[in-house]
Structure 1
Amino acid sequence: MSIKVQLAVDMTCQSCVDDVTQVLSKVPGVDDISVTLADKHVVVTGSAGPSSLVTALKTSGRSAVVRGAGSTSSGNIGAAVCIFEEGRALANSATRGLARFVQVTEDTCFVDVSLSGIPDGLHGLAIHECGDLSSVPESCGAHWNPEGVEHAGRDSGHRGDLGNIEVRGGWGEMAFETDRFKVWEIIGRSMVVGAAADDLGQGQGAASKVDGGSGPGILAGVVARSAGLFENDKLVCACSGNTLWTEQRLVDQGHRL
Protein backbone atom coordinates (compact mmCIF):
# COMPACT_ATOMS: atom_id res chain seq x y z
CA MET A 1 0.00 0.00 0.00
CA SER A 2 1.31 3.43 -0.92
CA ILE A 3 0.86 6.67 1.04
CA LYS A 4 1.78 10.31 0.58
CA VAL A 5 3.63 12.12 3.37
CA GLN A 6 3.82 15.92 3.47
CA LEU A 7 6.90 17.36 5.20
CA ALA A 8 8.00 20.85 6.19
CA VAL A 9 11.78 20.94 5.64
CA ASP A 10 14.02 23.90 6.46
CA MET A 11 15.50 24.76 3.02
CA THR A 12 16.94 28.02 1.68
CA CYS A 13 18.36 27.29 -1.80
CA GLN A 14 18.48 24.86 -4.70
CA SER A 15 21.44 23.12 -3.12
CA CYS A 16 19.17 22.34 -0.15
CA VAL A 17 16.56 20.91 -2.53
CA ASP A 18 19.16 18.68 -4.18
CA ASP A 19 20.45 17.50 -0.81
CA VAL A 20 16.97 16.70 0.52
CA THR A 21 16.07 14.82 -2.66
CA GLN A 22 19.27 12.79 -2.49
CA VAL A 23 18.77 11.88 1.18
CA LEU A 24 15.14 10.83 0.76
CA SER A 25 15.78 8.85 -2.42
CA LYS A 26 17.93 6.45 -0.38
CA VAL A 27 15.13 5.60 2.07
CA PRO A 28 13.66 2.14 1.32
CA GLY A 29 10.10 2.37 0.02
CA VAL A 30 10.35 5.88 -1.45
CA ASP A 31 8.88 5.97 -4.98
CA ASP A 32 8.53 9.68 -5.73
CA ILE A 33 9.70 13.00 -4.23
CA SER A 34 8.26 16.44 -4.97
CA VAL A 35 9.96 19.54 -3.52
CA THR A 36 8.71 23.16 -3.51
CA LEU A 37 11.46 25.44 -2.22
CA ALA A 38 9.33 28.58 -1.86
CA ASP A 39 6.95 26.82 0.54
CA LYS A 40 9.65 24.64 2.19
CA HIS A 41 7.37 21.83 1.17
CA VAL A 42 8.23 18.16 0.39
CA VAL A 43 5.79 15.41 -0.60
CA VAL A 44 7.00 11.80 -0.61
CA THR A 45 5.04 8.94 -2.15
CA GLY A 46 5.69 5.28 -1.41
CA SER A 47 5.54 2.69 1.35
CA ALA A 48 8.07 4.39 3.66
CA GLY A 49 6.69 5.48 7.03
CA PRO A 50 6.83 9.15 8.06
CA SER A 51 9.25 8.34 10.89
CA SER A 52 11.83 6.83 8.55
CA LEU A 53 11.70 9.94 6.35
CA VAL A 54 12.17 12.33 9.27
CA THR A 55 14.96 10.16 10.70
CA ALA A 56 16.83 10.20 7.39
CA LEU A 57 16.60 13.99 7.16
CA LYS A 58 17.68 14.50 10.77
CA THR A 59 20.64 12.18 10.29
CA SER A 60 21.74 14.36 7.38
CA GLY A 61 21.49 17.48 9.57
CA ARG A 62 18.15 18.72 8.22
CA SER A 63 15.22 19.81 10.39
CA ALA A 64 11.94 18.30 9.24
CA VAL A 65 8.38 18.04 10.54
CA VAL A 66 5.52 15.88 9.24
CA ARG A 67 2.60 18.15 8.29
CA GLY A 68 0.20 15.53 7.00
CA ALA A 69 -0.22 12.11 5.46
CA GLY A 70 -2.87 10.47 3.35
CA SER A 71 -3.86 7.94 0.76
CA THR A 72 -2.50 8.21 -2.77
CA SER A 73 -5.87 7.27 -4.22
CA SER A 74 -8.68 7.89 -1.75
CA GLY A 75 -8.05 11.40 -0.43
CA ASN A 76 -8.12 12.21 3.29
CA ILE A 77 -10.18 9.43 4.80
CA GLY A 78 -8.79 9.87 8.30
CA ALA A 79 -5.57 10.55 10.21
CA ALA A 80 -4.55 10.53 13.87
CA VAL A 81 -1.47 10.89 16.05
CA CYS A 82 -0.45 9.68 19.52
CA ILE A 83 2.37 11.45 21.39
CA PHE A 84 4.11 9.20 23.92
CA GLU A 85 5.21 10.57 27.26
CA GLU A 86 6.83 8.88 30.22
CA GLY A 87 5.80 8.40 33.82
CA ARG A 88 2.66 7.60 35.75
CA ALA A 89 1.48 11.21 36.13
CA LEU A 90 2.40 12.77 32.80
CA ALA A 91 1.96 16.48 33.49
CA ASN A 92 5.70 17.24 33.56
CA SER A 93 7.18 14.31 31.66
CA ALA A 94 9.36 14.25 28.56
CA THR A 95 8.14 13.36 25.09
CA ARG A 96 9.49 9.98 23.99
CA GLY A 97 8.04 9.38 20.53
CA LEU A 98 4.80 9.15 18.64
CA ALA A 99 2.54 6.98 16.54
CA ARG A 100 0.82 8.10 13.35
CA PHE A 101 -2.25 6.52 11.81
CA VAL A 102 -3.38 7.07 8.22
CA GLN A 103 -6.54 5.49 6.83
CA VAL A 104 -5.34 4.66 3.31
CA THR A 105 -8.52 2.84 2.21
CA GLU A 106 -11.89 2.25 3.85
CA ASP A 107 -10.50 -1.04 5.20
CA THR A 108 -6.77 -0.46 5.68
CA CYS A 109 -4.96 1.70 8.25
CA PHE A 110 -1.24 2.50 7.96
CA VAL A 111 0.49 2.65 11.36
CA ASP A 112 3.90 4.27 11.93
CA VAL A 113 5.54 4.23 15.38
CA SER A 114 8.80 5.71 16.68
CA LEU A 115 10.18 5.72 20.24
CA SER A 116 13.31 7.01 21.96
CA GLY A 117 14.95 7.16 25.36
CA ILE A 118 13.71 3.84 26.74
CA PRO A 119 15.69 0.62 27.45
CA ASP A 120 16.83 -1.44 24.48
CA GLY A 121 14.93 -4.63 23.69
CA LEU A 122 11.40 -5.62 22.75
CA HIS A 123 8.48 -3.70 24.24
CA GLY A 124 4.82 -4.65 23.97
CA LEU A 125 2.58 -2.04 22.36
CA ALA A 126 -1.20 -1.88 22.60
CA ILE A 127 -4.22 0.38 22.23
CA HIS A 128 -6.12 0.58 25.51
CA GLU A 129 -9.79 1.29 26.13
CA CYS A 130 -9.53 4.72 27.79
CA GLY A 131 -7.73 7.98 27.11
CA ASP A 132 -7.12 8.77 30.79
CA LEU A 133 -3.40 9.28 31.51
CA SER A 134 -3.77 10.30 35.15
CA SER A 135 -2.24 7.05 36.45
CA VAL A 136 -0.66 4.99 33.69
CA PRO A 137 -1.35 2.17 33.02
CA GLU A 138 -4.30 1.55 35.37
CA SER A 139 -6.26 4.63 34.25
CA CYS A 140 -5.91 3.58 30.59
CA GLY A 141 -8.06 0.50 31.17
CA ALA A 142 -7.50 -2.88 29.57
CA HIS A 143 -6.41 -3.60 26.01
CA TRP A 144 -9.13 -2.53 23.58
CA ASN A 145 -10.97 -5.80 22.98
CA PRO A 146 -14.55 -5.32 21.76
CA GLU A 147 -14.86 -8.97 20.68
CA GLY A 148 -13.79 -10.30 24.10
CA VAL A 149 -11.09 -12.63 22.73
CA GLU A 150 -7.83 -13.71 24.35
CA HIS A 151 -4.63 -11.71 23.93
CA ALA A 152 -2.40 -12.68 20.99
CA GLY A 153 -0.56 -10.93 18.16
CA ARG A 154 -1.85 -8.06 16.07
CA ASP A 155 -3.40 -10.40 13.49
CA SER A 156 -5.58 -12.47 15.80
CA GLY A 157 -5.73 -11.16 19.37
CA HIS A 158 -7.37 -8.10 20.88
CA ARG A 159 -8.07 -5.47 18.26
CA GLY A 160 -5.74 -3.24 20.28
CA ASP A 161 -2.85 -5.72 20.23
CA LEU A 162 0.02 -4.27 18.18
CA GLY A 163 2.77 -6.78 18.99
CA ASN A 164 6.29 -5.62 19.85
CA ILE A 165 8.50 -2.73 18.88
CA GLU A 166 12.26 -3.25 19.10
CA VAL A 167 14.46 -0.53 20.57
CA ARG A 168 18.16 -0.47 19.66
CA GLY A 169 20.60 2.17 20.79
CA GLY A 170 17.75 4.07 22.43
CA TRP A 171 15.66 4.25 19.25
CA GLY A 172 12.76 2.10 18.00
CA GLU A 173 10.76 2.33 14.79
CA MET A 174 8.17 0.22 12.97
CA ALA A 175 5.50 0.61 10.32
CA PHE A 176 2.75 -1.76 9.24
CA GLU A 177 -0.74 -1.96 7.76
CA THR A 178 -3.78 -3.40 9.49
CA ASP A 179 -7.41 -4.09 8.63
CA ARG A 180 -8.38 -4.73 12.26
CA PHE A 181 -9.31 -1.14 13.10
CA LYS A 182 -10.04 2.18 11.46
CA VAL A 183 -8.70 5.58 12.52
CA TRP A 184 -12.05 6.85 13.79
CA GLU A 185 -12.48 3.79 16.06
CA ILE A 186 -9.35 4.53 18.12
CA ILE A 187 -9.49 8.33 18.49
CA GLY A 188 -9.80 9.16 22.19
CA ARG A 189 -8.28 5.89 23.33
CA SER A 190 -4.73 5.53 24.66
CA MET A 191 -1.64 3.70 23.47
CA VAL A 192 0.69 2.17 26.05
CA VAL A 193 4.25 0.87 25.67
CA GLY A 194 5.09 -1.94 28.08
CA ALA A 195 8.26 -2.32 30.11
CA ALA A 196 8.93 -5.78 28.68
CA ALA A 197 8.36 -7.90 25.59
CA ASP A 198 4.88 -9.16 24.72
CA ASP A 199 4.82 -12.98 24.44
CA LEU A 200 1.81 -12.70 22.08
CA GLY A 201 -0.28 -15.01 24.24
CA GLN A 202 2.16 -17.90 24.02
CA GLY A 203 3.46 -17.78 27.60
CA GLN A 204 2.59 -20.04 30.54
CA GLY A 205 1.36 -17.51 33.12
CA ALA A 206 -2.11 -16.02 33.40
CA ALA A 207 -0.82 -12.61 32.28
CA SER A 208 0.05 -14.09 28.88
CA LYS A 209 -3.62 -14.17 27.89
CA VAL A 210 -4.22 -10.63 29.20
CA ASP A 211 -1.28 -8.49 28.09
CA GLY A 212 1.39 -10.94 27.00
CA GLY A 213 3.34 -10.36 30.20
CA SER A 214 4.60 -7.02 28.87
CA GLY A 215 4.59 -5.53 32.36
CA PRO A 216 3.69 -2.02 33.54
CA GLY A 217 3.31 0.77 31.01
CA ILE A 218 6.37 3.01 30.77
CA LEU A 219 5.10 5.30 27.98
CA ALA A 220 1.60 6.35 27.08
CA GLY A 221 -0.36 8.83 25.00
CA VAL A 222 -3.85 9.62 23.76
CA VAL A 223 -4.81 9.01 20.13
CA ALA A 224 -6.03 12.34 18.70
CA ARG A 225 -7.29 13.42 15.31
CA SER A 226 -4.59 15.02 13.16
CA ALA A 227 -4.26 16.87 9.88
CA GLY A 228 -4.58 14.92 6.67
CA LEU A 229 -2.59 15.53 3.52
CA PHE A 230 -2.41 19.25 2.61
CA GLU A 231 -4.66 20.23 5.53
CA ASN A 232 -1.89 21.95 7.53
CA ASP A 233 0.37 24.49 5.81
CA LYS A 234 1.55 26.47 8.83
CA LEU A 235 5.27 27.06 9.33
CA VAL A 236 5.00 28.87 12.68
CA CYS A 237 3.53 27.50 15.89
CA ALA A 238 0.57 29.67 16.94
CA CYS A 239 1.22 28.96 20.63
CA SER A 240 4.91 29.83 20.92
CA GLY A 241 5.69 31.83 17.78
CA ASN A 242 8.58 29.46 17.02
CA THR A 243 9.05 27.90 13.60
CA LEU A 244 8.04 24.25 13.33
CA TRP A 245 11.71 23.25 13.18
CA THR A 246 12.54 25.12 16.40
CA GLU A 247 9.61 23.38 18.07
CA GLN A 248 10.88 20.03 16.82
CA ARG A 249 14.37 20.68 18.16
CA LEU A 250 12.86 21.44 21.58
CA VAL A 251 11.03 18.12 21.45
CA ASP A 252 14.22 16.31 20.46
CA GLN A 253 15.91 17.82 23.51
CA GLY A 254 13.30 16.26 25.80
CA HIS A 255 10.80 19.07 26.24
CA ARG A 256 7.07 18.38 26.19
CA LEU A 257 5.06 19.23 23.11
Structure 2
Amino acid sequence: MPYLRLKQLVEVEGTAAPSKISASLRETGKDCILRGTGNPNSAAVCILETHAPNTETTVRGLARLVQVGPDFTIVDISLKGLIPGTYQASIRQNGDISRGAASTGGVWEEETMGTEARGKLGQIEVGSEGSGGIIIDASIAVWELIGRSMVLSPIAEPPNRNDEASLVGVIARSAGMWENDKVVCSCSGKTVWEERVEQKEKGML
Protein backbone atom coordinates (compact mmCIF):
# COMPACT_ATOMS: atom_id res chain seq x y z
CA MET A 1 0.00 0.00 0.00
CA PRO A 2 2.18 2.91 -1.27
CA TYR A 3 -0.03 5.61 0.29
CA LEU A 4 0.33 4.07 3.73
CA ARG A 5 4.11 3.74 3.42
CA LEU A 6 4.46 7.32 2.17
CA LYS A 7 2.44 8.66 5.09
CA GLN A 8 4.16 6.34 7.59
CA LEU A 9 0.80 4.83 8.49
CA VAL A 10 0.14 1.18 9.27
CA GLU A 11 -3.24 -0.49 8.90
CA VAL A 12 -3.86 -3.55 11.07
CA GLU A 13 -6.86 -5.85 10.60
CA GLY A 14 -7.88 -8.24 13.34
CA THR A 15 -9.23 -8.40 16.88
CA ALA A 16 -6.04 -7.64 18.83
CA ALA A 17 -6.33 -5.04 21.59
CA PRO A 18 -4.93 -1.55 20.79
CA SER A 19 -2.29 -1.82 23.55
CA LYS A 20 -0.97 -5.06 22.03
CA ILE A 21 -0.75 -3.48 18.57
CA SER A 22 1.09 -0.38 19.78
CA ALA A 23 3.44 -2.47 21.95
CA SER A 24 4.34 -4.66 18.97
CA LEU A 25 5.07 -1.59 16.84
CA ARG A 26 7.27 -0.08 19.55
CA GLU A 27 9.26 -3.31 19.74
CA THR A 28 10.50 -2.54 16.23
CA GLY A 29 12.22 0.58 17.59
CA LYS A 30 9.59 2.99 16.31
CA ASP A 31 7.16 5.09 18.31
CA CYS A 32 3.50 5.18 17.39
CA ILE A 33 0.18 6.89 17.92
CA LEU A 34 -3.13 5.11 17.42
CA ARG A 35 -5.27 7.29 15.15
CA GLY A 36 -8.46 5.28 15.22
CA THR A 37 -9.56 1.73 15.92
CA GLY A 38 -12.46 -0.33 14.68
CA ASN A 39 -15.25 0.72 12.37
CA PRO A 40 -17.09 4.06 12.59
CA ASN A 41 -19.23 4.32 15.76
CA SER A 42 -17.68 1.16 17.19
CA ALA A 43 -14.91 2.64 19.34
CA ALA A 44 -14.78 4.61 22.59
CA VAL A 45 -12.15 5.95 24.96
CA CYS A 46 -12.06 6.83 28.65
CA ILE A 47 -9.30 8.91 30.28
CA LEU A 48 -9.00 7.78 33.89
CA GLU A 49 -8.13 10.47 36.45
CA THR A 50 -7.94 10.82 40.19
CA HIS A 51 -10.16 13.45 41.81
CA ALA A 52 -8.14 13.53 45.01
CA PRO A 53 -7.26 17.11 46.06
CA ASN A 54 -3.75 18.53 45.78
CA THR A 55 -2.64 15.96 43.21
CA GLU A 56 -0.17 17.18 40.57
CA THR A 57 -0.56 14.39 38.00
CA THR A 58 -4.24 13.52 37.76
CA VAL A 59 -4.28 11.28 34.68
CA ARG A 60 -3.40 7.74 35.71
CA GLY A 61 -4.85 5.53 33.02
CA LEU A 62 -6.61 5.02 29.72
CA ALA A 63 -9.34 2.65 28.63
CA ARG A 64 -9.97 1.91 24.97
CA LEU A 65 -13.14 0.11 23.93
CA VAL A 66 -13.43 -1.45 20.48
CA GLN A 67 -16.50 -3.35 19.30
CA VAL A 68 -15.33 -6.27 17.14
CA GLY A 69 -18.67 -8.03 16.68
CA PRO A 70 -22.39 -7.75 17.48
CA ASP A 71 -22.60 -7.07 21.23
CA PHE A 72 -18.93 -8.06 21.64
CA THR A 73 -16.43 -5.44 22.77
CA ILE A 74 -12.77 -5.52 23.79
CA VAL A 75 -12.02 -3.31 26.81
CA ASP A 76 -8.31 -2.49 26.97
CA ILE A 77 -7.25 -0.75 30.21
CA SER A 78 -3.74 0.55 30.97
CA LEU A 79 -2.76 2.12 34.30
CA LYS A 80 0.29 3.92 35.69
CA GLY A 81 1.23 5.83 38.81
CA LEU A 82 -1.01 3.90 41.22
CA ILE A 83 -0.54 2.35 44.63
CA PRO A 84 0.15 -1.40 44.17
CA GLY A 85 -2.79 -3.69 44.82
CA THR A 86 -5.96 -5.14 43.31
CA TYR A 87 -8.42 -2.76 41.67
CA GLN A 88 -12.03 -3.27 40.60
CA ALA A 89 -13.12 -1.85 37.24
CA SER A 90 -16.75 -1.01 36.72
CA ILE A 91 -19.03 0.92 34.39
CA ARG A 92 -21.39 3.26 36.21
CA GLN A 93 -24.95 4.34 35.49
CA ASN A 94 -24.14 7.91 34.49
CA GLY A 95 -21.33 10.17 33.42
CA ASP A 96 -21.40 12.73 36.21
CA ILE A 97 -17.83 12.83 37.57
CA SER A 98 -18.13 16.28 39.16
CA ARG A 99 -17.58 14.71 42.58
CA GLY A 100 -15.40 11.87 41.39
CA ALA A 101 -16.66 8.34 41.93
CA ALA A 102 -19.23 9.60 44.44
CA SER A 103 -21.40 11.16 41.70
CA THR A 104 -21.23 8.38 39.10
CA GLY A 105 -24.17 6.39 40.43
CA GLY A 106 -24.32 2.65 40.94
CA VAL A 107 -22.73 -0.05 38.82
CA TRP A 108 -24.52 -0.27 35.47
CA GLU A 109 -27.26 -2.97 35.54
CA GLU A 110 -26.37 -4.11 39.07
CA GLU A 111 -29.77 -3.09 40.43
CA THR A 112 -31.59 -5.41 38.02
CA MET A 113 -28.96 -8.05 37.19
CA GLY A 114 -27.06 -8.37 40.47
CA THR A 115 -23.79 -10.27 40.13
CA GLU A 116 -24.49 -10.78 36.39
CA ALA A 117 -24.43 -7.05 35.71
CA ARG A 118 -22.39 -6.21 32.61
CA GLY A 119 -21.10 -3.13 34.40
CA LYS A 120 -18.79 -5.32 36.48
CA LEU A 121 -15.75 -5.53 34.24
CA GLY A 122 -13.33 -7.37 36.51
CA GLN A 123 -10.22 -6.89 38.59
CA ILE A 124 -6.82 -5.45 37.66
CA GLU A 125 -3.55 -6.15 39.45
CA VAL A 126 -1.23 -3.15 39.84
CA GLY A 127 2.36 -4.25 40.47
CA SER A 128 5.08 -2.83 42.67
CA GLU A 129 6.10 -0.37 39.92
CA GLY A 130 2.62 1.15 40.03
CA SER A 131 1.44 0.01 36.61
CA GLY A 132 -1.00 -2.59 35.39
CA GLY A 133 -3.38 -3.47 32.62
CA ILE A 134 -6.04 -5.87 31.52
CA ILE A 135 -7.86 -6.83 28.32
CA ILE A 136 -11.48 -7.84 28.85
CA ASP A 137 -13.98 -9.37 26.44
CA ALA A 138 -17.42 -7.97 27.25
CA SER A 139 -20.86 -8.77 25.84
CA ILE A 140 -21.59 -5.10 25.31
CA ALA A 141 -22.15 -2.80 22.33
CA VAL A 142 -20.16 0.43 22.41
CA TRP A 143 -23.26 2.59 21.86
CA GLU A 144 -24.64 1.39 25.22
CA LEU A 145 -21.69 2.93 27.07
CA ILE A 146 -21.26 6.37 25.51
CA GLY A 147 -21.90 9.01 28.17
CA ARG A 148 -21.56 6.64 31.11
CA SER A 149 -18.51 6.61 33.37
CA MET A 150 -15.86 4.10 34.32
CA VAL A 151 -14.49 3.77 37.85
CA LEU A 152 -11.42 1.93 39.11
CA SER A 153 -11.02 1.61 42.85
CA PRO A 154 -9.03 -0.58 45.26
CA ILE A 155 -11.15 -3.57 46.30
CA ALA A 156 -10.13 -3.02 49.92
CA GLU A 157 -11.79 0.41 50.01
CA PRO A 158 -15.38 1.70 49.56
CA PRO A 159 -16.14 1.81 45.79
CA ASN A 160 -17.06 5.52 45.76
CA ARG A 161 -14.18 6.87 47.83
CA ASN A 162 -12.37 9.84 46.26
CA ASP A 163 -8.77 9.20 47.23
CA GLU A 164 -5.70 9.22 45.00
CA ALA A 165 -6.07 5.50 44.27
CA SER A 166 -9.60 5.81 42.83
CA LEU A 167 -9.90 6.75 39.16
CA VAL A 168 -12.88 7.99 37.17
CA GLY A 169 -13.56 9.00 33.58
CA VAL A 170 -16.39 9.57 31.11
CA ILE A 171 -16.70 7.11 28.24
CA ALA A 172 -16.69 9.08 24.99
CA ARG A 173 -16.95 8.11 21.35
CA SER A 174 -13.56 7.61 19.74
CA ALA A 175 -12.46 7.80 16.13
CA GLY A 176 -12.82 4.73 13.96
CA MET A 177 -10.04 3.59 11.65
CA TRP A 178 -8.63 6.57 9.67
CA GLU A 179 -11.29 8.94 11.07
CA ASN A 180 -8.80 10.80 13.28
CA ASP A 181 -6.62 12.86 10.96
CA LYS A 182 -5.80 15.73 13.34
CA VAL A 183 -2.19 16.92 13.47
CA VAL A 184 -2.56 19.61 16.14
CA CYS A 185 -4.54 19.26 19.36
CA SER A 186 -7.06 22.10 19.56
CA CYS A 187 -6.93 22.19 23.38
CA SER A 188 -3.17 22.84 23.66
CA GLY A 189 -2.00 23.89 20.20
CA LYS A 190 0.65 21.16 20.27
CA THR A 191 1.10 18.47 17.65
CA VAL A 192 -0.05 14.98 18.61
CA TRP A 193 3.61 13.93 18.75
CA GLU A 194 4.52 16.80 21.09
CA GLU A 195 1.65 15.80 23.36
CA ARG A 196 2.88 12.21 23.34
CA VAL A 197 6.41 13.26 24.34
CA GLU A 198 4.97 15.34 27.17
CA GLN A 199 2.94 12.42 28.47
CA LYS A 200 5.99 10.11 28.26
CA GLU A 201 8.01 12.60 30.31
CA LYS A 202 5.26 12.50 32.96
CA GLY A 203 5.57 8.73 33.05
CA MET A 204 2.09 8.10 31.66
CA LEU A 205 3.21 6.24 28.50
Q: TM-score normalised by the shorter chain: which range applies?
A: 0.7 to 0.9
SS of residue in 2 equivalent to 1:143: coil
Residue 251 of structure 1, CA deviation: 2.4
Cα distance change of structure 1 residues 164 and 146 upon mapping to structure 2, 3 Å threshold: closer
1:51 corresponds in structure 2 to 19
Question: Aligned partner of 2:185: which letter?
Answer: C
Post-superposition CA distance 1:108-141 (Å, at most 9, x none)? 1121111111122321000011211121211011
Equivalent-residue separation in structure 2 for 1:242 and 1:222 (angstroms): 23
Quick one: distance in 2 between partners of 1:35 and 1:161? 42
In 1, distance between residues paired with 2:151 and 2:198? 23
The SS at the match of 1:68 is: coil
Say whether the 8 Å CA contact 2:15–2:68 is kept in structure 1. no
Contact 1:131 1:222 in 2 (8 A): yes
User: Relative to 1, partners in 2 of residues 1:105 and 1:56: Cα closer, same or farther, differing over 3 Å?
Assistant: closer
Instruction: Return the structure number with greater relative CO, CA threshold 8 A, min gap 6.
Output: 2
Letter in 1 for 2:46: C
Matched residues in 1 for 2:68 and 2:41: separation?
A: 7
Residue aligning to 2:176:
228
1:182-205 deviation digits (Å, cap 9, x = unpaired): 1111111110001236xxxxxxxx
Return the alpha-carbon distance in structure 2 between the equivalents of residues 128 and 164 of structure 1. 15
- Percent same amino acid at aligned positions? 40
SS of residue in 1 equivalent to 2:113 = coil
Matches for 1:214-225 after TM superposition, within 5 Å: 216=161, 218-225=166-173
Q: Which runs of 5+ in 2 are unaligned?
A: none
Contact 1:192 1:220 in 2 (8 A): yes
Deviation at 1:254, TM superposition (A): 3.7
Matched pairs, number: 200
| Residue 138 (structure 1) aligns with | 102
1:146 shift after superposition: 6.3
Rg larger in structure: 1
Equivalent-residue separation in structure 2 for 1:59 and 1:116 (angstroms): 20
TM-score, normalised on structure 1? 0.67
- C-alpha displacement at 1:170, in angstroms? 1.8
